[in-house]
Amino acid sequence: MLSVTHAMHQRRSTRRFLPMPIAQETVETLLQAARRAPSGANLQPGFVHVLSGAPLANLCEQVCAAFDAGDRRPEAYTYFPDPMPEVLKARQRTVGYALYNSLGIARRDLVGRKAQHRRNFTFFDAPVGLVVTIDRAMGAGCYMDLGMFLQSIFLLAEEAGLATCGIGALASYSHVLQRALNLPEDQTVVCGIALGYADTTAPENQFPTERAGLAEFARFSGF
The pLDDT, as a whole number, for residue 85 is: 96
198 CB-contact burial (10 Å; exposed 0-12 / middle 13-18 / buried 19+): buried
Q: 13 - beta bridge partners?
A: 164
Q: Number of helices (H) and strands (E) in the chain: give both, helices first.
A: 8, 4
Taking residue 31's Cβ as centre, other Cβ atoms within 10 Å add up to 16
Give the model's confidence band at 10: pLDDT under 50 very low, under 70 low, under 90 confident, else very high: very high
Q: Amino acid identity, residue 201?
A: T
- Position 1 pLDDT exceeds 80: no
The pLDDT, as a whole number, for residue 79 is: 87
Name the phi and psi angles at 6, rounded to 5.
-65, -45
Q: What is the pLDDT of residues 121-167, one digit of tens each?
A: 999 999 999 999 999 999 999 999 999 999 999 999 999 999 999 99
Percentage above 70 pLDDT, the chain: 100
Q: What is the pLDDT of residues 51-68, one digit of tens each?
A: 999 999 999 999 999 999
Q: What is the pLDDT of residues 173-217, one digit of tens each?
A: 999 999 999 999 999 999 999 999 999 999 999 998 999 999 999
Please tell me the distance from the alpha carbon of residue 199 to that of residue 105, in angstroms, as a whole number: 19
Domain spans of the chain, in order of start: 4-80+121-201
21 in Cβ contact with 125 (< 8 Å): no
Please tell me the distance from the alpha carbon of residue 201 to that of residue 207, in angstroms, as a whole number: 11
- Position 4 pLDDT exceeds 80: yes
3-state secondary structure of 15: coil
136 in Cβ contact with 76 (< 8 Å): yes
Give CATH superfamily name and number for 4-80+121-201: NADH Oxidase (3.40.109.10)
Q: What is the mean pLDDT of the chain?
A: 96
**Residues in the chain, total:** 223
Q: pTM to 2 decimals?
A: 0.96
Kind plus residue range of the DSSP H or E element containing 187: strand 187-196
3-state secondary structure of 166: strand
Can you tell me the mean pLDDT for 94-100? 95
The pLDDT, as a whole number, for residue 105 is: 97
Q: 17 - beta bridge partners?
A: 198
Kind plus residue range of the DSSP H or E element containing 195: strand 187-196
Q: Amino acid identity, residue 188?
A: T
Q: Amino acid identity, residue 152?
A: S
